[in-house]
Amino acid sequence: MIIGFQQNQRMKHKISLHKIAEKKNGRPLENGSISANKSPNSLMLIAGPCSAESEVQVRKTAEAISLTGVDVSYFRAGLWKPRSQPGTFEGAGYKGIDWLKAVKRDFNLPIITEVANPQHVEMVLKNGIDAVWIGARTTVNPFYVQEIANALKGVDIPVFVKNPVNPDLELWMGAIERIEKAIQAEVFPLHRGFNMTGNSRFRNRPVWQIPIELHTRRPELTMICDPSHIAGDRKYIYEVSQKAINLNYRGLMIETHIDPPNALSDAAQQISPALLSDVLKRIQLRSTTEIKPEDSPKLSKFRERIDELDFQLLDLLKKRMDVSSEIGAWKQNNKVSILQPERWSAILKRANDYAAEIGLSSEFIDQLFKAIHDESIDRQTAADVGKLINEYGRE
């Protein structure tokens, strides 16, 4: 950390936001910009390549994005790429900073890159990078996050904190809080999905319940979504982006490359500047106003039906778990293993087959039945433990 620099470094721009016009039934985003950090009708947009590969690639991408007329809050490019396998492209490193500075100078685009250690922080602060993000592989380790927070102490550039690769809300919130205590600017949660087993169309499961819970606990935070890493495939970028906006996210980070098929990292999930423009034109904004029951009798009827069905579901789950407890007692008395892999595989297959017939997704059914199965195992295990406690208690 450079002593004295943090007091002098100040944001030299107002965040340029993508202007959204509302309509009762929703309407496309409109090109244009407003100078406001938080507006109910504005969307923060971060766009640029996954990684800075060459000076030409970075410049051509920035130029093409500018020519679309899309307003970009930040131009992104990763300089240091934490890759799973050695020998793959790990970013241009320090030399790429000059490429980003040229984009800022020539196209008037604020720039943002990822930092994973204090050395990265020192380098980007020294060179006037406007914002940084902390990646999912870094957020997972509180020691790394704290080192970065210490290096950022006192600065007033925005920091975007990606969720950890594993679905751990407390870990994500802890990383956000560590950075909040260190800096004098806003901290943005950045949702990029989670690495999980099971069926999914997406590279990283969104597990929307986790960012929703984060926003419930910290409603003052501005939620940003990274549809590129969730999707893993450019054909899903619009779908994920629209869902994020439907869930009241206020910004998107979309990986955009001048030549996506030939990108040196994450080629499948990057889109061209032209497709970026198309995605933004198609996105529909929905009102974030809370609807009161008295304002919509029809909606109230729907909600009443949902509430009734929810109670029915809970009653059915209670009955199922009661049967699981009885099965657990039987297995304990007959010295039968609790886990029966063939039976479990048959249950899951039957559920997925029937779900397909009635229009429910396999991803949803996998998550639902795995949760039910976990609880069922806990119930059956409890029968074993309960008997042991009773036996020891009599001795």
Q: Hey, which residues does 34 pair with through a beta bridge?
A: 17
- Tokens matching residue 136: 């999912």
Per-residue pLDDT in tens (0 to 9) along the chain, 395 residues:
333 333 333 333 333 334 333 332 333 333 333 222 333 357 899 999 999 999 999 999 999 999 999 999 999 999 997 766 677 777 789 999 999 999 999 999 999 999 999 999 999 999 999 999 999 999 999 999 999 999 999 999 999 999 999 999 999 999 999 999 999 999 999 999 999 877 788 999 999 999 999 999 999 999 999 999 999 999 999 999 999 999 999 999 999 999 999 999 999 999 999 999 999 999 988 766 666 666 678 888 888 899 999 999 999 999 999 999 889 889 888 888 888 889 999 999 999 999 999 999 888 898 899 899 999 888 888 755 555 445 545 44
Nearest Cα to Cα of residue 154 among 33, 29, 317, 5: 5
Q: Rounded to two decimals, what is the model's pTM?
A: 0.76
Cβ atoms 264, 89 nearer than 8 A: yes
Considering only the top CATH level, what class is 5-282? alpha beta
Amino acid at site 364: F
Cβ atoms 226, 190 nearer than 8 A: yes
294-394 under CATH 1.20.59.10, yes or no: yes
Rounded to whole angstroms, how far apart are CA atoms 199 and 298? 36
- Tokens matching residue 42: 């504005």
Cβ atoms 58, 99 nearer than 8 A: yes
Give the domain ranges of the chain: 5-282, 294-394
